[in-house]
Amino acid sequence: MAKVIAVANQKGGVGKTTTSINLSAALAASKRSVLVIDLDPQGNATVGAGLDKFNLPASVYDVLMNEQSIENAIVETPFSFHVLGANDDLTAAEIHLLDLSKKEYRLRDLLRSIQDLFQYIIMDCTPSLNILTVNALVAADSVLIPMQCEYYALEGLAALIKTIENIQQYLNPKLKIDGLLRTMFDARNGLSNDVSRQLIEHFEGKVYRTVIPRNVRVAEAPSHGEPIISYDPRSRGALAYLGLAGEIIRRSERKLLAQRAGQQSNNAPNQAVGSNT
């Protein structure tokens, strides 16, 4: 069953799309089966994965509106991960979804049929708390929050955490914050280091150990329709996203293994009972 992660922050330009694509490519390079769902009408994740957003077999809009099956809309990329793509059509979903019943649960219900086809489903959200982002947070097991270590970052974070708590309370009680990811980090900048320290103080285990450095190669890669590990595998950006994938795999799969071990020991016959020794 897939681990479903929403990459969200209502602040714009913090690295949500960059992280969705590059984390997915890095997970795929680690032999994990991955689906990226682009929930932004800008379609940046779709383009960043090397797809033509105006030439998709079907888009996430068609799927949300029940005009196409999700299986027909998923496309394989040359980078060993799959994409459910988006384009400008998705703008209309914000209006049309409002007329539908159970509008917040639409995506969650659609993912049921493909949950077992992937190990990770990564959803790239828009920088606003619209009905598409609410759908992502309702469908997700956890949220990955990319953030730049800037002066106003902590303020914005408080608002986002309040939103996540509301979703937990009313729509998705199992939703967790998987982690805060420091993006576009410049270790020479004193303010970035201060904000980073405060973040670790306030959120302790919730801050990923991996830091994504500011790296011009990461910014160039989408215009070539490639993730960074394909565009420049030896760049600092590529190594950082591989590190993040490793960290996420260790965290989430360790829990899974522990759960399975627990189940096995519960199912194991009790050696002492009926034993002659």
Q: Which residues of this protein are in contact with Mg ion, per CB under 5 A?
A: 16-17, 44
Query: Which residue has its beta carbon closest to Mg ion?
Result: 17
- One-letter amino acid at 265 equals S
| Per-residue binding letters, 82-121, with ligand ATP (x by CB under 6 A) | ----------------------------------------
- One-letter amino acid at 127 equals P
| Closest approach of ligand ATP to the CB of residue 50, in Å | 15
Q: What does DSSP assign to residue 113? A: G
The footprint of ligand ATP on residues 29-48 (CB under 6 A) is 40, 44
* Furthest C-alpha separation in the chain: 71
Judged by CB under 6 A, the residue of 135, 172, 183, 230 near ligand ATP is 183
Query: Which tokens is 99 given?
Result: 């007329």
Closest CA to 181 of 217, 207, 154: 207
Judged by CB under 6 A, the residue of 13, 57, 78, 262 near ligand ATP is 13
Find the angle CA(33)-CA(55)-CA(16) to the nearest 5 degrees.
50
For residues 215-233, one letter each, b for 16 or more C-beta atoms within 10 angstroms of the residue's C-beta and e for the rest, the string is beebeebbeebbbbbbbbe
**Residue 235 within binding range of ligand ATP, rule CB under 6 A:** no
Q: Do the Cβ atoms of 64 and 107 come closer than 8 Å?
A: yes
Judged by CB under 6 A, the residue of 17, 77, 142, 172 near ligand ATP is 17
For binding to ligand ATP (CB under 6 A), which residues are involved?
Answer: 12-18, 40, 44, 127, 183-184, 212, 214-215, 218-219, 237
